[in-house]
């Protein structure tokens, strides 16, 4: 049987066949469901000092919750800015470029009661 939960759920398998005193079940397991994050960048190649805008949607909708804009550094991912989701679960985060470099960016939606942390695919920004 294939299950496609839309939110975090606990499951357990139960065998109820045969005699009632022989019924058995598995341990309960938590299945975590990630939110889907789409993202786009207003420009992938800009001059230093220019503003770029990261836009996207979180699905399913979580209006009012925060998303985090993160940049990859040698030690891992660092949160640079955050934004609240719109009534349609969209976001638009503006960032002014400050140094010449190729940067990789992503957007994360922190985990909460009904979903585990969702992470967008990375996107490259070249600042020249």
Task: Assess whether pLDDT exceeds 80 at residue 18.
Answer: no
CATH architecture of 35-127: Sandwich (2.60)
Distances (CA, A) of 98 to 36, 104, 105, 119: 30, 14, 14, 24
User: What pLDDT does residue 121 have?
Assistant: 96
User: What pLDDT does residue 22 have?
Assistant: 60
Give the pLDDT mean for 39-65: 95
Q: Which of 70, 74, 84 is nearest to 119 (CA)?
A: 70
Distances (CA, A) of 85 to 29, 40, 115: 31, 15, 16
Long-range contacts of 76-85 (CB under 8 A, 24+ apart): 77/106, 77/108, 85/58, 85/61
Give the pLDDT mean for 100-106: 94
User: What pLDDT does residue 1 have?
Assistant: 67
Q: Which of 102, 105, 104, 106 is nearest to 127 (CA)?
A: 102
Task: Assess whether pLDDT exceeds 80 at residue 52.
Answer: yes
Question: What are the tokens at 29?
Answer: 């397991």
Q: Which residue has the higher pLDDT, 21 or 116?
A: 116
Q: Are 107 and 67 in contact (CB under 8 A)?
A: yes
Give the pLDDT mean for 20-43: 82
Spell out the domain ranges in the chain. Answer: 35-127
User: What pLDDT does residue 76 have?
Assistant: 95
Please give the model's pTM, rounded to 2 decimal places.
0.80
Task: Give the confidence band of 78 by pLDDT, cuts at 50, 70, 90.
Answer: very high
């Amino acid at each position: 049987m294939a299950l496609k939960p839309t939110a975090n759920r606990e499951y357990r398998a139960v065998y109820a066949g045969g005699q009632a005193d022989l019924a058995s079940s598995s341990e309960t397991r938590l299945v975590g469901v990630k939110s889907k994050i789409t993202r786009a960048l207003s420009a992938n190649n800009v001059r230093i000092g220019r503003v770029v805008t990261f836009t996207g949607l979180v699905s399913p909708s979580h209006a009012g919750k925060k998303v985090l804009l993160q940049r990859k550094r040698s030690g891992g991912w660092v949160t640079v800015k955050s934004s609240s989701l719109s009534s349609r679960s969209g976001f638009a985060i503006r960032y002014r470029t400050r140094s010449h470099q190729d940067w990789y960016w992503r957007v994360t939606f922190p985990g909460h009661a009904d979903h585990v942390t969702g992470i967008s695919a990375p996107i490259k920004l070249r600042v020249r």
